[in-house]
Amino acid sequence: MYEGFGIRRSVESFGEAVLDELKDRFEKIDRIAEKNQLKVIAAMQKNKASEACLGTSTGYGYNDLGRDTLESIYADVFHTEDALVRPQITCGTHALSLALSAILRPGDELLSPVGKPYDTLEEVIGIRPAAGSLAEFGITYAQADLKEDGSFDYEAIEKAINERTALVTIQRSKGYQSRPSFSVEQIGELIAFVKKKKPGVKVMVDNCYGEFVEENEPSDVGADMVVGSLIKNPGGGLAPTGGYIAGTKECIELVAHRLTSPGLGKEVGASLGILPSYYQGLFLAPTVTASAEKSAVFAAKLYEKLGFMAIPAGEEERHDIIQALTLKTPEAVEAFCGGIQAASPIDSHVTPVPWDMPGYDSPVIMAAGAFVSGSSIELSADGPMREPYNVYFQGGLTWYHGKLGILMSLEYMVRRGCISEKNLERMAE
């Protein structure tokens, strides 16, 4: 069957040899998915999700039963006091920007204790100048870099906390960096340290790509807000747009008034017929996330055997769905992304090329033949075209599609001379 996709026998054989080593790992992923599936169903039943919740609202959106019930479900899933789940939140960066601007005031300082934030947040914060940045409103920024081994530098963090520190932001996933992603346990330890040094400080966790990978979420270990995108894990591949913020009542009220208008808050915001995809997407999210994890583990293990560095390594515990691979050359990055695109159900005939994408400081290549534009819970790969030429692979609504994508990426690497077929055949024996 794989030969029908143009994948040579040596590539398929090598992939099958790698998979033989992953059975126990896949079983563990499935056990976590089962627990998270039950958690989601329990939250839906507790809040009496009904057919009436799948309706729509227009205009102001007053008394939208489905919207309000869904937000209560999210609050229960994430074990928080309240939540905001809206199509008016356009993406993960928007959700993060919304949360930051809702909490911070002129004269406050934002602290990142985990080093540099994701590229698109640089303009939000004002690290790179941009209209409407936090810096333009007199909000300053400080960061404590990680140690060389990727661990927290608690001494530097303690020095960075001061009387103006109002919000601490923790990015769970690695973004376009080579550092490890953080476990919920690690995040909990960091939150406890920060709050001990400055009681009352708010902590926000950028939870993008991490939802349902572990049994617990950062909100279970002290985060005041967890923030994410619905076209990543929690949307289950069905949500066509949107974002969520779950947290304390105080924080969510402030965010709601920033999203709509002071005095209006959560009371307005029409759902516009989008709720069925939100409900069903959340229902599917634990198993879809498990498929993406399996795809990431397979990619790490396969490319490690070929001599490439994988972050995290194939044997490491995972804390998000992103798999970073250091491919060493721009040609290899383009070949990898070309293979992922060729395995897509949508736009498989398109060739991804690097381009100057808004919000980034270097050309970015993106392979994303997705049903939802930009959806990174669907099979995708991307990366900035700069040294050390890392590619970031994520997603896969089904494990079998993820498997096809990885095999196709390897096929394209062989075709373009980035990997020797003779070496591949020898290793597959």
- Domains 2-36+283-428 and 53-274 fall in the same CATH topology: no
Mean pLDDT in residue range 232-261: 98
Q: pLDDT of 211-244, one tens digit each?
A: 999 999 999 999 999 999 999 999 999 999 999 9
- Residue 166: band (very low, low, confident or very high) from pLDDT cuts 50, 70, 90: very high
Whether 358 has a pLDDT exceeding 90, the answer reads: no
d(C-alpha 290, C-alpha 321), whole Å: 9
For the cut 90, the answer to whether the pLDDT of residue 323 exceeds it is: yes
Residue 233 DSSP class = G
CA distance 211 to 286: 8
Arch. (CATH architecture) of 2-36+283-428: Alpha-Beta Complex (3.90)
Q: Which CATH number fits domain 53-274: 3.40.50.720, 3.40.640.10, 3.40.190.10, 3.30.70.270?
A: 3.40.640.10
- Domain boundaries in the chain? 2-36+283-428, 53-274
What is the pLDDT confidence band of residue 362, given thresholds at 50, 70 and 90? confident
Mean pLDDT confidence for 169-187: 92
Q: What is the mean pLDDT of residues 397-417?
A: 97
Order of strands, edge to edge, in the sheet holding 140-143? 82-86, 243-247, 225-229, 202-206, 165-171, 109-112, 140-143
Supply φ then ψ for residue 147, to 5 degrees: -70, 170
Q: Give strand pairing partners of 311.
A: 324
Residue indicated by tokens 């996330």: 289
Asked whether the whole model's pTM tops 0.75, one would answer yes
Residue pLDDT, tens place only, 38-83:
999 999 999 999 999 999 999 999 999 999 999 999 999 999 999 9
Q: Which amino acid, 99?
A: A
Residue 125's pLDDT is 97
